[in-house]
Each structure stands twice: as C-alpha cells, then as structure tokens.
Amino acid sequence: MPFTRIALRAGKPVQYRKALTDSIQRALVATFNVPKDDIFMLISEHDAANFVYDNQYLNVQRTDDLVMIQLTVSNTRTLEQKKALYQRLVDELHESPGLRREDVLISLVEVVKENWSFGNGIAHYAL
C-alpha cells in the first residue's frame, strides 16, 4: 500500500536506481509489514537548478548525493514502526547503493485507508 516517490540528482546509473528501490522495499517489508509484491515507486531525476535543498539544515551535512524519499502510507503505523522504518531505510541505503546516512531525507504522508484505489475504480481498503 505504500506509494513511494524518490527524487535525486540526474545522472545515476540504472543499477544505482534499482538498488534504491530494492533497499526501500526491503525496509518497508521489514518494518511496516508490507507484502513483497506491494511495490509502487516513482523515481524522478533533477538537474542542479531543480534540486533545491539546504546542505546543513538541523546540522545534517548533506551532499549532492541527497535522495529525497516521500512515502504515502495508510495511517495505521505506530511511532515505533515509523522510527524503525527511518533507521532501517538509512541502513539499507547505506549498504546498497552506498549512500551516506546524512544524504537520506524521508517524508511520510499518511492517508486514511479508504483513500486508496489500486485499479478498476475500487476503493480496495474501504470498510
């Protein structure tokens, strides 16, 4: 049920982008109990003029390797699960594709379950 948007600077090879999506999916499966085949992700690449960030906000030293990850999820996770996801995500992304932990920005967007339709005009999670 997560819908993931990944934004990064243009120019990374396809293997790098694949490592991003694989790492994010592993973290979601491990911490949010997402089924392995529940994967919906978009990657957008941006030139320098269209990839704007502060390289030291909150005393985190970021580089141009910054990856911004926005996850739209159902509002069913606990604070502990969210913290576990953040940690697992940076660990997975550090392992492969080798991102610095400081270069991972994560944003969760929580929606109620009836706000999902996976096709055919059906509200799949509506009670």
Could you list the active site residues?
Answer: 2
Within 1-127, strands assigned E span: 3-9, 41-46, 67-74, 104-111
Torsion of CA 84, 112, 2, 58, to 10 degrees: -50
What residues form DSSP beta bridges with 69? 6, 106
User: Measured between alpha carbons, how far is 70 from 13 in angstroms, rounded to an integer?
Assistant: 21
Helix (H/G/I), strand (E/B), else coil: 45: strand
Helix (H/G/I), strand (E/B), else coil: 107: strand
Closest CA to 72 of 48, 102, 45, 108: 108
